[in-house]
Amino acid sequence: MTKFGETFGCEERILSDKKARSPGQWDKDSVMRVGTVKEIKNHEYRVGLTPESVRELVAHGHEVWVQSGAGLGIGADDKAYAAAGGIIKPDAKAVFEGCEMIVKVKEPQAGERAMLHEGQILYTYLHLAPDPEQTADLVKSGVTAIAYETVTGPGGTLPLLKPMSQVAGRMSIQAGATALEKAHGGRGVLLGGVPGVLPGKVMVIGGGVVGFNAAQMAVGLGADVTILDRDPEVLERLGIHFESRAKTRFSNRANIEQMICEADLVIGAVLIPGAAAPKIVTRDMLKCMKPGAVLVDVAIDQGGCFETSHATTHADPTYVVDGIVHYCVANMPGAVARTSTYALNNVTLPHAMRIAELGWKGALRANAHLAEGLNVSGGKVTYEAVARELGYDYVPVAELVG
């Protein structure tokens, strides 16, 4: 195992038996230089690597560069990262310029994309289908971009998306309950009601991970909950789990139009992996809703599943259309950064280790599930749904990795 001298600040560690090299020049006897930076999206406090993750990478002989202050949002200061073996760098520019792989949480913002370069690996959430500007910049940069949200697991699951979907699903009820308060523009309804007063009605569109977790929270509050989905097996599973505590209905236009007129809170939890979300709720449907009812669009990262949705931030989370309050924060889990970061690192670190050990081509050849995460590489779009949505030629991953 590589031995490192422990230092703090911006000083380099001394490598004893492996050599560092420029990005793109990976070989099995080289150290991969991995970097993580402070997230700059509005009110985003998560970080790509925890100190514990840094320690694992370093223990396997790799260098990890950490932008100063990157972990403050989760309560991890520079000393914690240095103690784990990380090299502290003063700014994002130094990390982007010097590291072969960048591990983030959110999609790179415009200023960050300008620092990416050919041969570099970007490992983060991307959500490219509704974001043509980001896609164009990644294609132009020549970077190899691996998206957490399209990495698969056994049975077609999305294990790197799941923990954030769990967090977002649970948070959607908290956010919706707050937005329902009169002081925040809502109807003034308490979801759980009180003795002698009916509880609020919650409509959850989509019975996947987000929808299931949203329903769990809403049921726990004592709300009147109905979950809609198009998959009979999902509806059966939900029915068995919730029994009489939540109702299930098949998701079709007629049922949605009926239910939405009665709902106090609607959770949009629809996902098509890697593609733009379908518009399930149209603007016309808002006309029959109760004034001050709330829509929470958890699918906003993929463009949103309500026709009237547009992305908002934690600084200004809601807006009103036709008397209906919309909550469309694109990085909901960022508000509970510590929980979210540790949950995310639990599932992203094994693949990061694999990429660092084998290089991106070797890692993708060795793991078909990780290969599904490749969205862009060397100026080519390698995820079919993204190529279709944005009009790029689709290049299969196998053509790049052999």
Written as tens digits, the pLDDT of the chain (402 aa) is: 332 233 223 333 323 334 444 444 444 456 899 999 999 998 999 999 999 999 999 999 999 999 999 999 999 999 999 999 999 999 999 999 999 999 999 999 999 999 999 999 999 999 999 999 999 999 999 999 999 999 999 988 999 999 999 999 999 999 999 999 999 999 999 999 999 999 999 999 999 999 999 999 999 999 999 999 999 999 999 999 999 999 999 999 999 999 999 999 999 999 888 788 999 999 999 999 999 999 999 999 899 999 999 999 999 999 999 999 999 999 999 999 999 999 999 999 999 999 999 999 999 999 999 999 999 999 999 999 999 999 999 999 999 997
Same fold, 33-151+337-401 and 162-330: yes
Q: Is the dihedral of CA 252, 255, 258, 262 positive or negative?
A: negative
If one counts every other C-beta atom within 10 angstroms of the C-beta of residue 144, the result is: 28
d(CA 271, CA 276): 8
- CB neighbours of 265 closer than 8 A, spacing ≥ 6? 173, 176, 177, 180, 191, 200, 201, 202, 203, 218, 223, 293, 294, 296
d(CA 193, CA 157): 36
Q: Domain coordinates of the chain in residue numbers?
A: 33-151+337-401, 162-330
- Which residue type, as a one-letter code, is found at position 392? Y
- Rounded to the nearest 10 degrees, the angle between the axes of helix 337-366 and helix 162-179 is 150
What CATH superfamily classification does 33-151+337-401 receive?
A: NAD(P)-binding Rossmann-like Domain (3.40.50.720)
Q: Is the dihedral of CA 270, 383, 94, 16 positive or negative?
A: positive
User: What phi and psi values does residue 340 have, to the nearest 5 degrees?
Assistant: -65, -45
Tokens at 238, concatenated: 């939900």
d(CA 12, CA 144): 26
pLDDT score recorded for residue 96: 98
The residue whose two tokens read 């909950």 is 225
pTM: 0.86
Pairing of β 380-381 and β 374-377: antiparallel
Tokens at 319, concatenated: 């807006």
The residue whose two tokens read 């195992």 is 1
- Enter the CATH code of domain 162-330: 3.40.50.720
Maximum CA extent, the chain: 73
Nearest to 202 by CA among 280, 189, 302, 194: 189
- R_g (Cα) of the chain, nearest Å: 22
Given the residues 78, 137, 264, 301, the one annotated as active site: 301
Q: Which long-range contacts (CB under 8 A, 24 or more apart) does 278-282 make?
A: 278/305, 279/304, 279/305, 279/306, 279/307, 280/205, 280/251, 280/256, 280/305, 280/306, 281/205, 281/256, 281/305, 281/306, 281/307, 281/308, 282/307
d(CA 173, CA 195): 21
| In contact, 104 and 110? CB cutoff 8 Å | no
301 is an active site residue: yes
The residues with which 123 forms a beta bridge, in sequence order, are 103, 146
| In contact, 341 and 354? CB cutoff 8 Å | no
127 is an active site residue: yes
DSSP one-letter code for 374: E
The residue whose two tokens read 């198009």 is 230
pLDDT score recorded for residue 275: 82
18 by Cβ neighbours in 10 Å (0-12 / 13-18 / 19+) ranks as middle
pLDDT score recorded for residue 276: 86
pLDDT score recorded for residue 30: 64
Given the residues 62, 78, 127, 137, the one annotated as active site: 127
The residue whose two tokens read 């990795």 is 401
Nearest to 181 by CA among 195, 167, 168, 200: 200
